[in-house]
A and B are shown apart, each in its own frame.
Chain A
Amino acid sequence: MLLQIKNLHVSINGKEILRGINLEVNKGEVHAIMGPNGTGKSTLANVIAGKEGYEITQGEILYNGKDIQKMPPEVRAQEGIFLGFQYPVEIPGVSMTNFMRTSLNEIRKYHGQEPIPAKEFLARMAEKKELVEITAKLTNRSVNEGFSGGEKKKNEIYQMAMLEPQLAILDETDSGLDIDALRIVANGVNKLKTSENATVVITHYQRLLDYIVPDFVHVLFEGKVVLSGGKELALELEEKGYDWIKKETEKR
């Protein structure tokens, strides 16, 4: 099992946001997480990636069988966890190229590998740029600086392609994308899919799931996974809306 989350409770400043999440992700799987605004989807993603400011009050996060709670975020990344941010940060003054090279080399170092030769690195950049149909202009600029909303999201997928993570968590990577970009991003994700890695997509739109077909769909509501099912669940959700979820949960 790649990722196993057991009864995860998380608070921010004493306020409980996640209230007992259970989730299991195996290699080769695609999971979709849906749910109304403010239910804790990004919180879950951030906690898995190791962002500070969250208090885990209960539960466990196992990655490849290891408890990762004490791991700093970079080590989690080096272990293969990639987070596609809902709101990617602008880092003026740090060029994309330099950023990616440093990132790739640190990950390689962690795995006992030599730094990537410059030529190979450039070739890889070129290849991956093509994959997500990103223009050279973007990679010559500072990280996300002045990127449009859609460009930022594409840039996240581009970085994912560069780093080839084992577990990719994509937090609303589809929002703000035009129809073409959506297809490109989805294609990118699909092409990177292997039997060895897994993807968790957080989304509000069933539309994305037409392109990235999930094996499982989970509905997050008020800090809990209240429903899980196959890809049909997403369709049902789109049709009936979250009110339906509310009623369902009230019934139980």
Chain B
Amino acid sequence: MSKELNSIPVLDSIPQWFDAIVGKEGNAFKGLQNVRTSALEDFNRLGFPNKKMEKWRSTDLKNVLSFDYSMATKDFLMKDILEEVFECEVQELDSYVMNLYKGRFVYKESPLHILDDGVIVGSLSAAFDKYPELVEKHFGKYAKTENNAFNALNTALFLDGLFVYIPKNVKVEKPLQLINAVGTTEDVFVQNRNLIILEENSQLTLIHCDDSYNYKRSFTNSVTEIVLGANASIDHYRLQNINNNSSLKSTVAVEQARDSRLNTNSIILNGGLIRNESFVTLNGEGAHADILGVYLADKNQHIDNQVYVDHAVPHCTSNELFKGILDDYARAVFNGHILVRRDAQETLASQNNANIILTDKAMINTKPFLEIYADDVKCSHGATVGQLDDSALFYIRQRGISEDNARMLLMYAFAAEVTQKIKIDSLRERVEDMVKKRLRGELSICDQCVLQCSNPEKYNFEIDMSKI
């Protein structure tokens, strides 16, 4: 641990928080005491990541960790909180909504619902009391603590989070929406922990929204573990829209059994500093993972996506696609890592990261890695910065469309490759609308912008969303 990082105020608070939550005074998750204690040891050994670490060389936490955050240490379950806090802006989305507030689970009648078909949805802490075996079987098995400081910290200090259990053969049609809101009168440090279990042949759509409802500073450290049984299928969306003073570190660890299917899409709309880590282990033959992401960043935003796909067994496929448009002083980082283990023959894996930089102040660091130990594989990766297809550009201009508009159309199409894959109509429309606005310069002042698109007069550019 470097000296600088030793002086992080949060570090001084951690022992007290731990005591209050788990230790002498605390009483939450008693059954997890050992796990939590060893996680804290892991964290103390690892410390907060710094720029000297390979995985963190492009993302500096020094600034965002320099504040004296406070953390809630009791009242894990909250009853009756103002509805206004949760304003995830996807309108007309027909979904079951679960709320987390500063890391605590908010409920009206009961923290845990058991539906007729055996589905369990609700607070993780409540689930832990009621179904300890079910939770313990999976908890902490996929989000490793020994080499990941934030996972360790989360495991040691989390207050609560979402628990979902979908029994065998149950297909939940209506999306489940988890809204995690931060923002109070003080700067807060938040640890969320979610566990999603899909048994064999089950199905779920989960939208995980991280929102802030005011401009107060916050740091959220969120860890989600997802277990997919054989032939189970999940559509998972991370919709991230926090204020520019806030930071979000969001880890999703997925374990996939035979023939299971993962579709995860990180839609990063706004945030001061966002770091997403996805760990996907393809551990049963025939499993498939689509790992997608789109980021639109401006001002001084910093967006970091880390994707680690482990092809542990043969015959699995994975497909990564991350696209970003960077404006103003924004900075984006992408690090994909595909590991194909020795016997994971007949693996198909692709990985792609494409970026468009709109100013000379924005910046991208991208590292698409392949580590391959099996020979009967087809793996590819690509990364581009600033690339629009020349022949497409000519084709469009040949149809009489001006070069500026042709570029804009292509940039829109650029992001559409990811946004089109959002399967929930209302969500997709909202995201596409955001992209359009960003390209038109309606989201920020873009004097530096190559398009000079802040002058809307120049453009006769109308994208009819419903037709795309």
Asked whether the complex places CB atoms of A and B closer than 8 A, the reply is yes
Question: What residues of chain A have their CB less than 8 Å away from a CB belonging to chain B?
Answer: 49-52, 72-74, 76-78, 82-83, 85, 88-95, 97-107, 109-110, 115, 140, 142-143, 159, 163
A115 contacts B460, CB within 8 Å? yes
Among B401, B405, B464, B467, the one with the most A-chain Cβ atoms within 10 Å of its Cβ is B401
Ranked 5 nearest A-B pairs via Cβ: A93-B413, A93-B416, A77-B400, A103-B399, A107-B400
Cross-chain contact of A89 among B389, B412, B460, B463 (Cβ < 8 A): B389
17 extra A-B contacts, CB within 8 A, seeds A49-B398, A102-B461, A159-B399: A52-B394, A73-B398, A74-B398, A77-B397, A88-B395, A89-B391, A89-B394, A91-B389, A91-B392, A92-B416, A94-B409, A99-B409, A102-B460, A103-B396, A103-B400, A107-B400, A110-B400
| A106-B409 contact, Cβ under 8 Å, with A93-B417, A95-B468 | no
| A106-B392 contact, Cβ under 8 Å, with A74-B397, A92-B413, A101-B464 | no
Q: Tell me, in angstroms, the Cα distance from A153 to B279 when the chains sit together.
A: 44
Cross-chain contact of A163 among B396, B397, B400, B406 (Cβ < 8 A): B400
The answer to the question of B10 belonging to the interface, with a C-beta cut-off of 8 Å to chain A, is no
Contacts of A82 in B (CB 8 A): 398
Chain A: which residue is nearest B420 at the CB level?
A: A93
A103 contacts B468, CB within 8 Å? no
| A98-B467 contact, Cβ under 8 Å, with A52-B394, A105-B460 | yes
Among A50, A88, A89, A142, the one with the most B-chain Cβ atoms within 10 Å of its Cβ is A89
Q: Tell me, in angstroms, the Cα distance from A72 to B462 when the chains sit together.
A: 22
Chain A: which residue is nearest B402 at the CB level?
A: A74
A91 contacts B396, CB within 8 Å? yes
Chain A: which residue is nearest B414 at the CB level?
A: A93
CB distance from A50 to the nearest CB of B (A): 8
Count, A-B residue pairs, CB within 8 A: 102
Cross-chain contact of B400 among A89, A93, A94, A106 (Cβ < 8 A): A106
30 CB contacts below 8 A, A to B, read A72-B403, A74-B403, A76-B398, A85-B398, A89-B395, A91-B396, A91-B410, A93-B413, A93-B420, A93-B468, A94-B409, A94-B413, A94-B416, A95-B467, A95-B468, A97-B467, A98-B463, A98-B467, A98-B468, A101-B464, A102-B405, A102-B461, A103-B400, A105-B460, A105-B462, A106-B400, A106-B460, A140-B467, A163-B399, A163-B400
B395 contacts A102, CB within 8 Å? no
Q: Tell me, in angstroms, the Cα distance from A148 to B463 when the chains sit together.
A: 26
| A101-B395 contact, Cβ under 8 Å, with A93-B413, A93-B416 | no
Cross-chain contact of B401 among A50, A93, A102, A140 (Cβ < 8 A): A102
Q: Tell me, in angstroms, the Cα distance from A232 to B48 when the chains sit together.
A: 82
Contacts of B417 in A (CB 8 A): 92-93
Among A91, A109, A159, the one with the most B-chain Cβ atoms within 10 Å of its Cβ is A91
B413 contacts A78, CB within 8 Å? no
Chain A: which residue is nearest B406 at the CB level?
A: A74
Q: Tell me, in angstroms, the Cα distance from A98 to B396 when the chains sit together.
A: 12
Q: Tell me, in angstroms, the Cα distance from A88 to B396 when the chains sit together.
A: 11
B409 contacts A51, CB within 8 Å? no
Cross-chain contact of A103 among B391, B394, B401, B463 (Cβ < 8 A): B401
Contacts of B395 in A (CB 8 A): 85, 88-89, 91, 143
CB distance from A90 to the nearest CB of B (A): 8
Q: Tell me, in angstroms, the Cα distance from A97 to B464 when the chains sit together.
A: 9
Q: Tell me, in angstroms, the Cα distance from A70 to B412 when the chains sit together.
A: 29
| A99-B399 contact, Cβ under 8 Å, with A92-B413, A93-B416 | yes
Query: Using a CB-CB cutoff of 8 Å, which residues 415-462 of chain B contact chain A?
Result: 415-417, 420, 460-462
